[in-house]
Amino acid sequence: MNILTFQLMEVVFEQKDASDWIYRGEGAANLVLAYNGSSPAFVGKVLRIQKAPRNGSPRYVSETKDGHSSLTSDECRLWKETEDLVSAPTREIAEQLYVQHVITPLLGPGHVDAGIRVHVSRDFLESVEKNVLCQRPSWRVDAAKVNTLCNAALLISDHSVFPRGSLKDQVCISVEIKPKCGFLPFSKYISEGNVIKKRISRFRMHQSLKFHEREVLEISEYDPLDMFSGSKDRVHKAIKALFVTPQNNFRVFLNGSLIYGGLGGGGDSISHMIGEAFEDVLRSVIRTDDGLRTSNFLHLVAETVFRSGLLDRLLKIQKLDVFDIEGAIHAYYNFISQPCTVCGDLGEDKVSDRYKYLHSLSLDESLKIVRDYLIAATAKDLSMMICFRPWEEEDVESSYSSVFLKSTNQTFDYKVCSIARHHLRTQHLKNAACVTEWCQLKLRMLVHHMVFRNPESMGSYIGSNGSLLTEVVICQASFIDLDMKPLNKMERYYELDQQIVSCYTDITNGEHQVDNSVSIGAYRTAYSDHSNTVEDASHARDPTGNISTYGSLIGVTRRKRRIGLFLCNKESDFQLLLAHLNPHALFTHTAGFLSNLSGSGG
Ligand SMILES: O=P(O)(O)O[C@@H]1[C@@H](OP(=O)(O)O)[C@H](OP(=O)(O)O)[C@H](O)[C@H](OP(=O)(O)O)[C@H]1OP(=O)(O)O
Ligand SMILES: Nc1ncnc2c1ncn2[C@@H]1O[C@H](COP(=O)(O)OP(=O)(O)OP(=O)(O)O)[C@@H](O)[C@H]1O
C-alpha cells in the first residue's frame, strides 16, 4: 500500500463534506458522485457509493445489520485461488480485490482504476442522498436508495475528464459506451428450441423483451456484433446506432457534465443536447465546418474504438463464457451441490446425455466453468470511457504515450507512437512515429489530416495555412463498472435467458407483433428537432383536462390487439402511456384524446 493510499483511507467524509459531491450518474447497484470542491486530493475523482434495493427489488447479496455483506461460503470456494479476495473482511473489499486481481490483469492495468476505499459517515450519506434526490431518475429512486448503513465508499478517478494538471482550462469531451456481449454463443449445450441464440445477438433479443415490458421506448438500432466485428465500417455503424438510440449504452460528457444520453439507465428520459447545440459543443475539439462536427465526432469515436484494440481484449474475456448459461447452470448446481432444477424440470427421460455429461464433471471442473462464466458476465456488463481533448504545446513533454493517427485519402491510419509537435509541423510524420505499447496508462491520439470516407467532409481538417496538421486530439480510455457478479445470480441468468429467447421467438412467430416503426420515426423526429413535436395539440383540445399533463402525442405503437401511445410532455420528456390497453378500452376511456389525435393528424 503506498502512502497516498494509506492517507486517503484515513479520510472520513462527514456531513459538512456532502455539498462538495454532485450527482454524476448511477446504475442498478451504485450511485456515483463527482467532486466539486477544492481539495487537491479529490479533484478529478468520483465517489461510488453503494445503494440498497427498496422492497420488491431483487436482491442477490445479503447484508448484515451494519450494512456490510460478505462473500458466501460458496463464493469463497469459487474465488479460493485469489487468496486475498477470500480473506477480505467485507464483500466490498472483496469486490475491490476482484477488480485488482482478477479483472485488471485481463483488461490491462492501464485502463482500470480499482479505486481506494474511503470512510463515510452516516450523516454524509444521508445528506448526499437528500442533495441528489431531485436529479435521480424516478424509477431509480423507486428501485433503490443510498445504503446509509455502509461506512465506506470507493474513490475512483473521474474517467470523464483528464487527470488533474492536464486539464487546466481545456475542454474535454468524453464518451461512455456500454458495449454488452459482442459474440454469438456457440455452445453445444444450447437447446434446440433456443438455437436462435446462435444467430441473433442477446442484446437484440433482449431489446424485444425490454420493449415488450416497456423498459425502453424503442428498440435500439445498436448491435454489439457490429461493435466487436473488427470491421471499421461496422464499428462506425455501431457508434452511429448508439448515437441514435443511446439508452444506457452511450453517453457523452462535456467536462464531466452529461450532454447526451440518459442519466441513470435505459428507462429514464434522455437528456440530449441536440442539433446545433451539440455541434457547438464539439467546436472546441473537432475543428471543422458547422454541420459536420457531429458526424466527424462519431467517426473519431469509432476510429478510436476500432484502433484501440480494447474491444478485442474485452471480447476475449467475454468469451470465457464457453458453455453459455445453458451449460454453465448445470455446472453451478454441481458446484453448490444442489439438485439441478433445470434437469428436474425436464424430467429424467428428457435429460440429454450432454447434460448428464456436465453433471459428471468434477467439482474443480464445475468451479472453473462457473468462475469463467461470472468473469465473462463482468466483461459483458462493463462500460468504456474515452475522453478527448485538443492537443496542446505543453503535451510535447508530457509522459503520455501517444497514438499517431495518420490518414491517406480515404482512411485513417495510426500507429502507437511518441511524437513531438515540430515533427508534425514539418510534416515529416513517418520519421516522427516510433511505435510503443498500446497498453500505457494514458493515450494520446494525434489526428492528422482527418479525411473521412464521406467525401463531403474531405478537406475539412486542412488548416488555414494549408498544413497537413490540422487537428490533434488527445484521448484516454478506461473501463468502469467491473463488479463481481454474485454467484447466486446464476439462476436469474438462466431464467432471464429463457425469457429473452421466448419473447423473441414469440415475436418472430407473430405472437407479439412489434411494429415500432411509427414510434421510432416519431420519437426520432421529436428529439432531432423539438420544434417538430406536435406542440400541445392534444392539450389545447383536451375536453377533460386529464391528458393535459402529458402534452402531445408523438407516436403510436401497435402490437397484436394492443396499442400504446408515446406522449411528450411540455419539457419534451417522452412517456409511454396506455401501452397494452385493448384499443376498445383505450377508445372508450380516452375518446376525447383520440379525437384530438385525428385532429392533429395522428
Ligand atoms: O442482464 P443484463 O444484460 O440486462 O445486464 C444488467 C444491466 O442491464 P442492461 O445492460 O440495461 O441490459 C443492468 O443495467 P441497468 O440497471 O439496466 O442500467 C445492470 O448493469 C445489471 O448489473 P448489476 O445487477 O447491477 O450487477 C446487469 O446485470 P448482469 O447480467 O450484468 O448481472
Ligand atoms: N470512474 C468514473 N468516472 C466517471 N464516471 C463514472 C465513473 N464510474 C461511474 N461513472 C458514471 O456513473 C454511472 C454509474 O456507474 P456504474 O456503472 O459503476 O454503476 P453501477 O450501479 O455499478 O452500474 P450497473 O447498473 O451496471 O450495475 C456510469 O454509467 C458513469 O456514467
Q: What is the pLDDT of residues 31-44, one digit of tens each?
A: 999 999 999 889 98
Interatomic CA distance for residues 488 and 471, integer angstroms:
50
Mean pLDDT of 335-364: 90
pLDDT per position as a tens digit, 154-183? 999 898 887 765 545 677 888 999 999 999
- The Å distance, Cα 515 to ligand 1 centre, comes to 26
Ligand 2 centre and the CA of 382: distance in Å? Answer: 9
What is the rounded average pLDDT for all residues in the chain? 72
- pLDDT-derived band at 569 (thresholds 50, 70, 90) equals very low
Q: Is 60 exceeded by the pLDDT of residue 467? A: no
Say whether pLDDT at 558 is over 80.
Answer: no
* Gap between the Cα atoms of 505 and 511, Å rounded: 8
- Which residues does ligand 1 sit against, CB inside 6 Å? 27-29, 248, 265-266, 377, 381, 483, 485, 489, 496
| pLDDT of 248 | 92
274 alpha carbon to ligand 2 midpoint, in Å?
23
Q: Are the beta carbons of 533 and 554 closer than 8 angstroms? A: yes
Q: If you average pLDDT over residues 111-127, what whole number do you get?
A: 92
Question: Among 7-21, 352-366, 421-435, whose mean pLDDT is lowest?
Answer: 421-435
Q: What pLDDT was estimated at residue 4?
A: 42
Element spanning 577, H or E? strand 574-581
pLDDT of residue 290: 77
| Cα–ligand 2 centroid distance for 569 (angstroms) | 28
- pLDDT at site 165: 54
pTM of the model: 0.77
Instruction: Tell me which ligand sits closest to the C-alpha of residue 50.
Output: 2
Q: Whose CA is nearest to atom 1 of ligand 1?
A: 493
Minimum CA distance residue for ligand 2 atom 12 = 25
pLDDT at 284: 75
Q: Is the pLDDT of residue 129 over 50?
A: yes
| Integer Cα distance of 71 and 90 in angstroms | 7
Ligand nearest to C-alpha 220: 1
pLDDT recorded at residue 274? 64
User: Over the stretch 509-543, which tens digit does the pLDDT of each residue have?
Assistant: 876 655 443 333 333 333 232 222 222 222 322 33
Least confident of 191-195, 364-368, 504-508, 577-581: 577-581
What DSSP string runs through 484-527?
A: PPPGGGHHHHHHHHHHHHHHHHHHHTTSS--B-HHHHHHHHHHH
**How far is ligand 2, taken at its centre, from the CA of residue 19, in Å?**
20
CB 103 within 8 A of CB 122: no
Report the complex ipTM.
0.98
Query: According to the model, what pLDDT value does residue 87 have?
Result: 87
Q: Whose CA is nearest to atom 19 of ligand 2?
A: 27
- Centre of ligand 1 to C-alpha 27, Å, is 8
Question: Residue 599 Cα, ligand 2 centroid: separation in angstroms?
Answer: 44
Average pLDDT, integer, range 79-96? 87
Nearest Cα residue to atom 10 of ligand 2: 32
Which residue's C-alpha comes closest to atom 20 of ligand 2? 27
pLDDT of residue 568: 37
CA of 266 to the centre of ligand 2 (A): 13
- Model confidence at 282, pLDDT cuts 50, 70, 90, reads confident
Give the atom of ligand 1 at the shortest distance from the alpha carbon of 60. Answer: 24
Task: State what percent of residues in the chain have pLDDT above 70.
Answer: 63
Atom of ligand 1 nearest to the CA of 264: 18
**Which of 4-18, 57-71, 438-452, 558-572: highest mean pLDDT?**
4-18
- In this prediction, residue 139 has a pLDDT band, given cuts at 50, 70 and 90, of confident
pLDDT(417) > 50 = no
- pLDDT surpasses 90 at 3: no
Instruction: Look at residue 459 in the predicted model and tell me its pLDDT.
Output: 24
Between the CA of 251 and the centroid of ligand 2 the distance, in Å, is 11
**What does the pLDDT look like over 223-280, one tens digit per residue?**
999 999 999 999 999 999 999 999 999 999 988 888 888 775 554 455 556 667 788 8
- Residue of the CA atom closest to atom 26 of ligand 1: 485
Average pLDDT over residues 84-107: 90
Residue nearest (by alpha carbon) to ligand 1 atom 5: 381
Helices 324-336, 363-381: inter-axial angle, 10-degree rounding: 130
CA 382 to chain centroid: 7
Is residue 461 scored above 70 in pLDDT?
Answer: no
The alpha carbon of 522 and the centre of ligand 1 are apart by a number of angstroms equal to 28
pLDDT at 200: 97
Residue 69: the pLDDT is 73
- Mean pLDDT for the stretch of residues 1-24: 75
Mutate to test the pocket of ligand 1, among 136, 381, 501 (most ligand atoms within 8 A of CB): 381
Choosing from 159, 164, 386, 480 the residue with most ligand 2 atoms within 8 A of its CB, the one to mutate for a pocket test is 480
Comparing 496 with 407, the larger pLDDT belongs to 496
Shortest-distance ligand to the CA of residue 140: 1
For the beta carbon of residue 435, count every other beta carbon within 10 angstroms. Answer: 10
The pLDDT of residue 468 is 30
- Residue 508 CA to ligand 2 centre (angstroms): 34
pLDDT score at 134: 92
Ligand 1 atom showing the smallest separation from residue 493 Cα? 30
> Could you tell me if 150 and 50 are in contact, meaning their C-beta atoms sit under 8 angstroms apart?
yes
Q: What whole-number percentage of the chain has pLDDT above 90?
A: 41
* Cα 513 from Cα 510, distance rounded (Å): 6
Report the atom number in ligand 1 closest to the C-alpha of 483: 26
Q: Considering only CA atoms, which residue is closest to atom 16 of ligand 1? A: 28
User: How far does the centroid of ligand 2 lie from the alpha carbon of residue 35, in Å?
Assistant: 15
Query: Could you identify the atom of ligand 1 that is nearest to the CA of residue 481?
Result: 20
Question: What is the grid cell recorded at 160?
Answer: 470523464
Task: Return the higher-pLDDT residue of 46 and 477.
Answer: 46
Mean pLDDT of 334-338: 96
Range of 391-395, 478-482, 565-569 with top mean pLDDT: 478-482
Which residues are CB-contacts of 99 (< 8 A; sequence separation ≥ 6)? 112, 114, 115, 482, 483, 484
